[in-house]
Structure 1
């Protein structure tokens, strides 16, 4: 039997989501790293080979997760919010090397321009709120040379079917008098023709992928207006106008492109943002966690790993349906144990293991308040990771160098 000093170091990937309100994904990964490294030292083990790979599900935090994974700083661009006010937004682009044939990727969180928090200081007119600012950031990505654009669209304040975004890219949405439509979803019912001859010259040469975390259709009882409109300030009458407008938009788009977006799962995300991007730009709608996993090279990182630690705020049934934990489990080989650390664990061991996970542990050391859990999240994450290392490191004596 080998001694601890002769053991091969554990190869560990740290791939957490953010714990909203307490830790970003990067902060969670750093706390995990401190925990496993300290535990290995206390046990007299070789320092583990640790790979930090903070993740996200395509919503809030995705930009920061990809910036960390690509090891680049955020860039900024002037744009306009959903109410048309000037602001500065962040976006990201990979380092431009295109190493090993990888595309130069850009990431854009739509909420940097059309997010609800940005217009929380004023009553929002749901009929005029526009996604134009999202398109302004996309133009900057195209001008910066991105070959693939990852568009993360959660948290929007708009219900305009992506018309504002595509307008910023050079398209023209015209009424029967050949005049441009007014901004916002309230004007969609007057749409007569769509002119895309003035699109940005690179708009249809890059690959567009839209990260979604819902499967709502564009229209109807589960559509963009009915489900999400009220939280964006829409009255019942507004919802009816917006839903009818999106339906009309889809029909004009179908007549122009042959692509019917009415029954496409996810087309209702972010106020119907995919409704024009899929037909005119060839955009793909994908689960956000899968998009991020691909963008950071999760599968390759896990291929040689012995252990992966992932994390999120609440580990429950939804975690297994397209969230970060699900993506990690799906990409991990059978030889790599997957352990979840969460603020709250709501699944029994049998369900955890049936999902392909080794175990799930709560951050809570005992009865604590939510404020205590949030305030001590970094220390608690470090300690939980050390505990996990202790369990998995204890059996390493049978593995020689």
Structure 2
């Protein structure tokens, strides 16, 4: 079989491995079986965790700024933002207000003040345009923390500022936007990995609240608090992306931001289509492949790009919990490791194994062998080629 051009373009495996780690491990496994292939590592993001790293790798002329901000539980954390040569500042919610920064989930108290502090710092540094990656949030505060740090005031029945988080949102009876900082001259763009509205069964509290520690009763309370905010301000809670990052999308829309696909935006910056066009195979992946993947997640965007160029695409996931039609090959690392606990405890080991298995199957297919002949037990998610 002649040498193949392979592009490894995964998202992060949230909570266990960065996109760069995933790409490097899968590529290492592939090269261990097929050393003559050209394997390009292209770690990606869709607005969530790893967005800054993906942009910085693609645009080495940008400058990273670091500052200490209040994390989602109030403890100080070091967050970053990037200044691009054209004056665009790129920020990432996950690094300032992300769930991964919490010692334990706090569905009522977690907030987004940290992200607001990052955006204020970028504006103070002269940013002419803001890009804000939303994803991986710890809170369901409707973006109240961001708005507060940008000059808005959420007031209770006594005219006093409310506390942070959903608890404060529930006590809000008036929102004063008179002190809200103006948009930069080039505007504000949200990079979002979801298209969820603010409210309802597909909204911020119902869909994402449980991921942040919310019980069914908590979800109802979080929903009521978001409903209370929505009736006090002039923004559309049904807008696509309003429910992103616990409703932070809604708060950003209230400020005047616009929403675009984070996966598409990052893919354009890193030149995904150019690399895919020259590839014989694309390998993508994420920690959990499920029904939400099709709703704008990065894996669905990479697969669409590959299919548009008639390039086969393979999937590596920490867990496969949805149909995988359209993929030339699939490896579930939790199956390889004998369970989810094993795959998350040592993700790199099983990602290397996954890359080697994909390469072995590619060789078997080219030789006319059954690609599952020796691997049915290890990877029942394989869908053939």
Q: Does 2:374 align with 1:390? A: no
CA change 1:228–1:39 in 2 (3 A) is closer
Relative to the length of structure 1, the TM-score reads: 0.72
* Gap regions ≥5 residues in structure 1: 396-401
- Quote the residue 1:106 is aligned against: 90
**CA deviation string 1:336-368 (max 9, x = no partner):** 2212234555677xx52xx3x333245589784
Point out the more displaced range, 299-308 or 170-179: 170-179
Q: Does 2:47 align with 1:93? A: no
1:312 paired residue among 283, 286, 294: 286
Q: CA deviation at 1:311?
A: 2.5
Give 1:247-266 correspondences, 5 Å limit.
Answer: 247-254=227-234, 259-261=235-237, 263-266=238-241
* Gap regions ≥5 residues in structure 2: 369-385
Instruction: Output the CA distance in 2 between the equivalents of 1:178 and 1:379.
Output: 57
Bigger Rg, which one: 1
Q: Is the 8 A contact 1:208 1:281 kept in 2?
A: no
Q: CA deviation at 1:165?
A: 0.4
Q: What do you get for the CA RMSD once the two structures are aligned?
A: 3.9
Secondary structure in 1 aligned to 2:233?
helix
Give 1:2-401 correspondences, 5 Å limit.
Answer: 10-20=4-14, 22-41=16-35, 45=36, 48=38, 50-70=39-59, 75-85=65-75, 87-93=76-82, 96-98=84-86, 104-108=88-92, 110-120=93-103, 124=106, 126=108, 129-144=110-125, 145=127, 147-156=129-138, 158-174=139-155, 180-188=161-169, 189-199=171-181, 202=184, 205-213=186-194, 215=196, 217-220=197-200, 223-225=203-205, 242-254=222-234, 259-261=235-237, 263-284=238-259, 286-315=260-289, 318-332=292-306, 333-343=308-318, 352=325, 355=326, 357-362=327-332, 368-370=338-340, 373-374=343-344, 375=346, 376-387=349-360, 390=363
Relative to the length of structure 2, the TM-score reads: 0.75
Q: Is the 8 A contact 2:11 2:45 kept in 1?
A: yes
CA change 1:140–1:384 in 2 (3 A) is farther
CA change 1:390–1:315 in 2 (3 A) is farther
Q: CA deviation at 1:113?
A: 3.2
CA change 1:131–1:314 in 2 (3 A) is closer
Give the length in aligned residue pairs.
361
